[in-house]
Amino acid sequence: MFESKYDVIVVGAGHAGCEAAAAAANLGSKTLLITMNLQFTGQMSCNPAMGGIAKGQIVREIDALGGYSGIVSDNSAIQFKMLNQSKGPAMWSPRVQSDRSLFALEWRKMLENTPKLDFYQDMVVDLLFDKEAVQGVVTSLGLKIYSKSVVLTNGTFLNGLIHIGEKNFGGGRAGETASIGLTAALENVGFQSGRMKTGTPPRVDGRSLNFEVMEEQAGDEQPSKFSYLPITKPLTKQRSCHITHTNTTVHEILASGFDRSPMFNGNIKSTGPRYCPSIEDKINRFADKNRHQIFVEPEGWDTVEVYVNGFSTSLPDDIQYKALKQVKGFENVKFFRPGYAIEYDYFQPTQLFHTLETKRIEGLYFAGQINGTTGYEEAGAQGIIAGINAHLKINDQEPFILGREEAYIGVLIDDLILKGAEEPYRMFTSRAEYRTLLRQDNADDRLTARSHKIGLASDERLRLVANKAKAKTALVHYLEKTSYELQEANALLEAKQSDLVTQSDKFAKLLSRPSVQRKDIVNFNPLANYLKENQFTDEVFEQAEIQIKYAGYIDKEKRNADKLKRLENIKIPKDFNFDVLASLSFEAKEKLNHLRPNTLAQASRISGINPSDISVLLVSMGR
């Protein structure tokens, strides 16, 4: 079965592994996806949801590149919400509540319908090397499977250790064994590893909860979707989530178990996620808060299982149960399973190139939590980039690297490679300096043509993008050249308690007012007839509105991005000796020699490198 050599082997079938395998196979590489249990392909290990603040933008970007996360999310969604709509469009972030079982099933179906992709169930315990290049993998059954490249996406399984109170046992996820051997194999060839921690809350029986005393969180009245392709459709029915809160009694019960908590008794020594802390961490760090929000999330269409978001914990199970019973609506709660923490190995991502290929071993790629990230979306983003580059590398093609001004995916990878990860990395809109350019609505416009050029995004995707861009340009031109009727405009402005106009003006000027939205003028004359005649979608009108309203901000960010590109064009020779530059600070020399940035722009983003150091390098490179 394994006599012939694979082009790409992907280890692990989580979000990173699924995207990596799909990308490599769809580009034409003979690909093998090997994982410890094929039944858990595409498993949602933690909360049953995709997207959210900045993460929703990433899912849209994966879809625009030709990945599967957006399609799978749409086909398994039970609720859709566009978050942050009260803020500017740079902050709008799509999110779906997912059917956990259906999500995994949809991933399995997508992958099994991908040509050139094979599957195998086994544990990878070692790698095969030829000098400083990877040659394949070794499994727990002793099989040697050869390949031209390998992508490791091991999630939380590398020497995984699960903690529930004073009990701990090996495992990569509840009910699954840890992956043993691979960390040592990587360390033996010089890689530096570390330990990180994450956690998950209890799952409970929804029949034992009183939802009537909780605050209902319904989906959007007019739900959208993730994928830009028409093969997925917006939801026509949705399930609600609910919100409740902890209280001082809950906190007191939780605190009574601190002496048996692995977080506080020294059993857990690794770093956990700063922005998704456990409930015991919250009440310890924020002792002045007398309550914390709990999101009560259904696990699917046809199950009573409920995910208690905001109650992640590794406290003893009896403490978890006693405390949760004191939460409003949880008085009669029944557990399906307690929460737990898990420690696992990761490798500093500063050991990678921007392609996610390792600097030490040629043809070996890391993606997902092995790089110190947290979140399905961040994992999927790394997976598709690693899969793309593994294929391009073995075919002697130029690498595929996204800039910070092109995508959140570019921001994510650039942060990892240049700054490393001392704690689990999570994406936020604040991490992107060009977030007005990197909106969720225009990911296809930013990325699809680039992906199509390498053969991943389909002709249909490119056609859809071109048609949308053409329609948007026409609509913007119309709004800038066509005048509204004075009486209609003043009636609207009076209702919004805004300054009236004394004479008719162009639609674009009216729409540029902060208080006026496209829905307010959609029936105005003569615009209504023009929209109807040309059958413009609301998606096109939304992009036209954003371009008109935020033109100044968008142009400013484009200018700033262009300035950055000038530094990106100044390459640093691979063998450059930074020690010969006497004017460089000691810290700059140390970090530049260690991280070996490819361009001056990358050097400028390294922590500890200041503007005077860049000036020295500019002079040295001959400006």
Cα of first residue to Cα of last residue in the chain, in angstroms, is: 56
> Is residue 109's pLDDT more than 90?
yes
8 A C-beta contact, residue 432 and residue 393: no
> Is residue 622's pLDDT more than 70?
no
> Which residue reads 């020779």 in tokens?
573
C-alpha 248/C-alpha 58 separation (Å) is 37
The two structure tokens encoding residue 399: 């690498």
> What residues contact residue 480 under an 8 Å CB cut-off, 6+ apart?
506, 507, 508, 548
List alpha helices for 436-571, DSSP H.
443-454, 459-481, 486-495, 507-511, 518-521, 527-534, 538-549, 551-568
What are 138-184's pLDDT values in tens digits? 999 999 999 999 999 999 999 999 999 999 899 888 888 899 999 99
C-alpha 517/C-alpha 514 separation (Å) is 8
Could you write out the three-class secondary structure of 179-232? Answer: ECCHHHHHHHCCCCEEEEEEEECCEEEHHHCCHHHCEEECCCCCCCCCCCCCCC
Could you write out the three-class secondary structure of 330-348? Answer: CCCCCEEECCEEEEEEEEC
List alpha helices for 325-442, DSSP H.
376-394, 408-419
> Is residue 277's pLDDT more than 90?
no
Confidence of residue 425 (pLDDT cuts 50, 70, 90): very high
Q: What is the pTM of this model?
A: 0.93
> Which residue reads 């059917």 in tokens?
99
> What residues contact residue 348 under an 8 Å CB cut-off, 6+ apart?
192, 194, 372, 420, 421
The two structure tokens encoding residue 616: 């020295």
* pLDDT, the chain, mean: 94
Name the nearest CA neighbour of 108 among 231, 2, 14, 26.
14
> Which residue reads 């008085």 in tokens?
331
Cα angle vertex 390, ends 389, 396, to 5°?
Answer: 80
pLDDT score of 25: 98
The two structure tokens encoding residue 432: 């992107």
The per-residue b/e assignment along 201-210, b for 16 or more CB within 10 angstroms, e otherwise, is bbbbebeebe
C-alpha 394/C-alpha 153 separation (Å) is 19
Q: Is the dihedral of CA 135, 37, 72, 424 positive or negative?
A: negative
Q: What single-letter DSSP state applies at residue 622?
A: T
What are 347-405's pLDDT values in tens digits? 999 999 999 999 999 999 999 999 999 999 999 999 999 999 999 999 999 999 999 99
- Work out the average pLDDT over 54-75: 98
Encoded amino acid at 522, one letter:
V
pLDDT score of 119: 98
8 A C-beta contact, residue 447 and residue 63: no
Confidence of residue 623 (pLDDT cuts 50, 70, 90): low
What are 318-337's pLDDT values in tens digits? 999 999 999 999 999 999 99
What are 556-607's pLDDT values in tens digits? 889 888 877 788 888 888 888 899 888 888 888 888 988 889 888 888 888 7
C-alpha 134/C-alpha 148 separation (Å) is 7
Q: What is the largest CA-CA distance in the chain?
A: 83
Give helix 248-255 / helix 317-324 axis angle, nearest 10°. Answer: 170
Continuous segment of H or E residues that includes residue 588: helix 586-595
Phi-psi region at 388: left, alpha or beta (left = phi > 0; alpha = psi -120 to 50): alpha
CA 281 vs. chain centroid, Å, equals: 24
pLDDT score of 562: 85
8 A C-beta contact, residue 475 and residue 544: yes
The two structure tokens encoding residue 444: 């296809």
pLDDT score of 114: 98
Could you write out the three-class secondary structure of 598-614? Answer: CEHHHHHCCCCCCHHHH
Continuous segment of H or E residues that includes residue 593: helix 586-595
> What residues contact residue 215 under an 8 Å CB cut-off, 6+ apart?
242, 243, 244
3-state secondary structure of 404: coil
What are 23-51's pLDDT values in tens digits? 999 999 999 999 999 999 999 999 999 99
C-alpha 462/C-alpha 148 separation (Å) is 30
pLDDT score of 561: 84
3-state secondary structure of 384: helix
What are 449-458's pLDDT values in tens digits? 999 999 999 9
8 A C-beta contact, residue 235 and residue 76: no
pLDDT score of 394: 98
> Is residue 223's pLDDT more than 80?
yes
* CA 1 to each of CA 144, 146, 382, 384, 423: distance values in angstroms, whole numbers, following the listed order: 11, 12, 29, 27, 41
Confidence of residue 615 (pLDDT cuts 50, 70, 90): confident
